[in-house]
Amino acid sequence: MNVTQLLVSIIDDDESVRESLPDLVKELGFSAEAFSSAEEFLASDHVDQTRCLILDIAMPRMSGPELHRELMRRGRPIPIIFITALKDDTVRPRLIEQGAVDCLFKPFTDDALQEALSSALRAN
């Protein structure tokens, strides 16, 4: 598997995350696209090419978990790594139970992201 061909889409309403996280993902050897909302991602032509989503949980309008359910409803089961600034220990197990690959709490380490991406792409 050639990782340079794998697209990781990042959806977060926080501009600083959209500016920094794609650089890190690219350093790890993947292609990356950033979106400011779930709706922007769904309207893009990147849905079918995306091999993994890094998805913020709490966003205006459509939340990360709502986007996850919408993708499943559309028959597009993209592996998802949720990210959140919310420090709620019940969130991670619940999201993983619903099919997420992982849930990382901001700020997370490069190693934690790399491990989650490896898991997501093995699942794909």
- pLDDT tens-digit profile of 97-110? 999 999 999 999 99
pTM for this entry: 0.92
pLDDT for residue 123: 62
Q: In degrees rounded to 5, what are phi and psi of residue 91? A: -65, -50
- Are the C-beta atoms of 56 and 104 separated by less than 8 Å? no
pLDDT at 20 over 90: yes
Q: How far apart are CA 111 and CA 109, in angstroms?
A: 5
Q: How far apart are CA 24 and CA 34, in angstroms?
A: 12
Q: What is the token pair recorded at 50?
A: 């995306």
CATH class label, 3-123 = alpha beta
- pLDDT tens-digit profile of 27-48? 999 999 999 999 999 999 999 9
**In the chain, domain spans:** 3-123
Q: What is the token pair recorded at 36?
A: 């400011």
